[in-house]
Structure 1
């Protein structure tokens, strides 16, 4: 490990390697900062050491404990960048340093520079200045002092060819959008349509400066507006948090001492939620402040354009055009992605009335300030139809990280990862016929297979699919879902009667099973949610069942026959309402949380033929209904 350099500011030194930070990353709770590579190496070692303790590791500085770190690389990559540290490092780099003669450096000597030659782009010492004025090729060069160099240096333009370092840039190729020397122009750009000398290009910069200045000033206004919006939301968050804390404490004074433990838990959760959301808002502020700073620097250059050499200014403008377009796109994306959130706190009625059976003091969460969806009356609108090339019979479907669609084809025996436009990001050939899919966490998901009976847990990293673990069920697998900290798998039961549900933890270890005597041993799909019963379809019996996993007994039939023919897919929306995809009746049925039939939410739609898989989950910014039919994935939105 390198020794700590005493001349470097402690604020920009990593506490692990004692070097200036490289890609500084902050831990989410304690906010201590480390180099990305340092904390990644440390976490891998610590997690391997603590593999028997839920994959935990402790902060190297304060020993704050972090749990369930399964994939250290992905977890560290997702940590927020410390933009303050990056700014401090950049500021240190911008501080003026002693300059040395370039000619002497080439002779492996070191002499302080006193002058600058704009023609050669070289710093020169006193002796080299004298030589410079006597050489035939440089005697007519105008040498200036170093202070005048700082004006050109702001543009950071290299006036010499990258391919031929001894030759100056003399022409600009508009076809390739790059400057070059005469040799490059003769060899590489002789067939280009538009090639002009830099001197000619630099003679009329006024209109370009004005146009670029207008774009930058518009970008600056956008930054100011967005910064004000984020700052106001951050203040409102703090005010709402303070108001909620006051209400909680007021109620707490009216009830007995036994409730103090519940109060403490609630307030800690409140503070943690506020800090977590504040970090998100601060991240957005930092992004816009960075864009604003870059914009202001470019504006200053353009406002003082008369002070700079015209050739250098022209080249800087060309580079600036590309940067401004990229920054503008990035800023618009940030503004579009940003959402105003409010602190949503709920105090249980049981706490107010001092009922002995209450479980929690309340609930704290961050919700987006957007209209609530009335799932039971809102119409579905087909937003897009995604054709998956190479597939003809897509079975189940699910969503990873709100933006990656995972689906499988029974005929091609292939697993696909799609983006929200339907582009195939990756595919994987399976050993058997795929049926059910269940997203787990951290870009991990499980697929149930038939012939052979198997369930496979996959991990995704950089859109690459890898097998993490195989669950050998010894019989055909059908539906699959996740519930709290376990995987539930429906498999065929020996004898061909009833259902057999197998339970696994998130590591793939078997942790029990449950038999239910309902129909034959093959069902369609299964679904559950925290605190809710397990749902499963029995497609040969045209039925939908509910099963309470916490209570002994048989399953309850919720619906049978009628407009439900050969039901396969089943899912729930965020409010607990139930949706069933029916293969033979070519429709989707909607039930309320209690299992009462509401409506055919999709019917007589020529696009929907023989639907299999169905999910109601967040995809992008909104909750969508996602359905597989034939070789397509259909994406619906709730709303007219």
Structure 2
């Protein structure tokens, strides 16, 4: 056979080499045979003996064979770099199992998927399904945009922090001439603290930047591969690359979003007091100002993607139509819920499949996870907080009850030893209850009204000591800064009959807008960040997973819960 620069050696997948074209089935048997044919359906070069099988086996007869020389001129230059090989058997991928969404070589198809109903040759799918604007590429592009935004934010934060730090000595020097030696000592003390703060925060900034740059590099590399295969690759190659990178794209997107949700900015400032203490005193007694170190999460509008849902239907064990009035995530991702109508505590797995239940002796109102295996439940009819133990095997047992003097509805954790609870028939709409049942009040000027069942909800943001309270009939969301003694009142057309409230990503506030059939995201300053229509009527209660990646909503619509 004549040799030219257009021929290739398929065994190594290197194009442009001056070598004979070798039969791929023979190469799989460690045998080198010159190929005479190319099967467009199998997408491989074959010798005469191997290609003759097409005339023997009936299901291979529709395959189209061309000469190897003709195929060489049409063969694309995209190097699959092993992506077209089965990870388990190292054979060429030729099939796709639609039942299990898996790429298969011939061995996989015969051994692992023989019971599947739809195992299709890739050649029959590739041309129909592929598009340059593929979902994987779109997800990677979106991830790239987020990653670039993180780096931009990190660099901006670093520049601002440098500017803040450099400004501190300048501020101090403006007053230096008035109080001589005191400001010499002051500058040394303050700058030392500021530099220490900068060193501590620099580690976080560097970690975020380095981690995101690695993600960005991975995203860019995969985007280059996808762009290359759509420019130079065959439909089958495009299909395989898509499927190979599907999980990578999802993982990168999740990782970058997780970095963004925990992204912080840092700043530092120095304000002088109106009066100064003059020396001789120790420097820490006459510092004429207050040093403020600030950490701010970057408030980012959240995006909601539906994952799964269930209809709460009456079963043979139920007395009434189910009504879930309280939900929360356990630390391992399971969901705990309480059914007010049927007096049951329920456990669901990540697929919203019921995996455990426990019959209660009262009508529950709300539930909160206290630890890995313990939850606390409130009741609208019993003056108590009831604790249940939930094992990792979904066995539920009663732990204890704490007697209280007020009826409670919503409940959330304030810290390791206290709850924040929403009251029923009490003009103190939110109170503090310890894990042992001791009750205390907030020093807050609440609205002078008592809320009845289903009229309000509350939650607590631990990192900022912020109490959030909803008023369903006035359409208000109250945001109270407990330490700062501040109050923000949110009233917006997007918030109608606000009920349940939860702490969302970056300590934003998630509100169920019952009359709008939507979920509204609010910043702690009262700014509307996002609003999302959902496919259930009258959203009533919501909870967010510990890693802030999942939101669960239950509703108060009797027609379809």
| 1:243 paired residue number | 163
| 1:365 paired residue number | 295
CA 1:322–1:266: 2 relative to 1, 3 Å: same
1:298-348 CA-partner distances (Å, limit 9, x unpaired): 65667676xxxxxxx775444223235555566666777775967242535
For residue 349 of structure 1, give the secondary structure of its aligned residue in structure 2. strand
C-alpha separation in 2, matches of 1:271 and 1:483 = 31
1:586-635 CA-partner distances (Å, limit 9, x unpaired): 66665574799979989997x78xx7xx4352269952224899xxx974
1:423-461 CA-partner distances (Å, limit 9, x unpaired): 578665265543454466889864346869554376898
Residue 296 of structure 1 pairs with residue 232 of structure 2: no
CA 1:443–1:353: 2 relative to 1, 3 Å: farther
| 2:318 paired residue number | none
CA 1:266–1:437: 2 relative to 1, 3 Å: farther
Within 5 Å, which residues of 2 pair with 1:19-168? 118-122=24-28, 154-158=81-85
C-alpha separation in 2, matches of 1:179 and 1:554 = 67
For residue 361 of structure 1, give the secondary structure of its aligned residue in structure 2. strand
CA 1:182–1:553: 2 relative to 1, 3 Å: closer
C-alpha separation in 2, matches of 1:156 and 1:460 = 43
For residue 342 of structure 2, give the secondary structure of its aligned residue in structure 1. coil
Residue 413 of structure 1 pairs with residue 343 of structure 2: yes
CA 1:414–1:244: 2 relative to 1, 3 Å: farther
Within 5 Å, which residues of 2 pair with 1:143-542? 154-158=81-85, 178=104, 180=106, 201=123, 228-251=148-171, 257=185, 264=192, 267-297=195-225, 316-324=237-245, 339=260, 343-347=265-269, 349=271, 361-368=291-298, 392-396=322-326, 407-415=337-345, 428-429=357-358, 431-433=360-362, 434-438=364-368, 446-448=376-378, 455-456=386-387, 470-473=399-402, 479=408, 481-488=412-419, 526-527=420-421, 537=423, 539=425
For residue 155 of structure 1, give the secondary structure of its aligned residue in structure 2. coil
C-alpha separation in 2, matches of 1:222 and 1:545 = 41
Q: Tell me, yes or no, if the aligned pair for 1:350 and 1:358 is still in contact at 8 Å.
A: yes
Aligned residues: 417
C-alpha separation in 2, matches of 1:344 and 1:160 = 46
1:212-261 CA-partner distances (Å, limit 9, x unpaired): 59999888876776655444333223212212222344456766647966
TM-score, normalized by length of structure 1?
A: 0.45
C-alpha separation in 2, matches of 1:404 and 1:325 = 26
Question: Which structure 2 segments of 5+ residues have no match?
Answer: 1-11, 13-20, 34-46, 52-77, 177-181, 278-285, 302-308, 315-320, 523-527, 532-561
CA 1:248–1:215: 2 relative to 1, 3 Å: same
CA 1:358–1:161: 2 relative to 1, 3 Å: closer
C-alpha separation in 1, matches of 2:96 and 2:300 = 50
How much is the aligned-residue C-alpha RMSD, in angstroms? 6.6
CA 1:440–1:139: 2 relative to 1, 3 Å: same
1:500-557 CA-partner distances (Å, limit 9, x unpaired): xxxxxxxxxxxxxxxxxxxxxxxxxx45xxxxxxxx7461x555477999xx999889
Q: Tell me, yes or no, if the aligned pair for 2:326 and 2:365 is still in contact at 8 Å.
A: yes
1:29-55 CA-partner distances (Å, limit 9, x unpaired): xxxxxxxxxxxxxxxxxxxxxxxxxxx
Question: Which structure 1 segments of 5+ residues have no match?
Answer: 1-98, 100-114, 131-137, 143-150, 306-312, 372-384, 489-525, 528-535
Q: How big is the shift at 1:365?
A: 0.8
Q: How big is the shift at 1:468?
A: 11
| 2:536 paired residue number | none
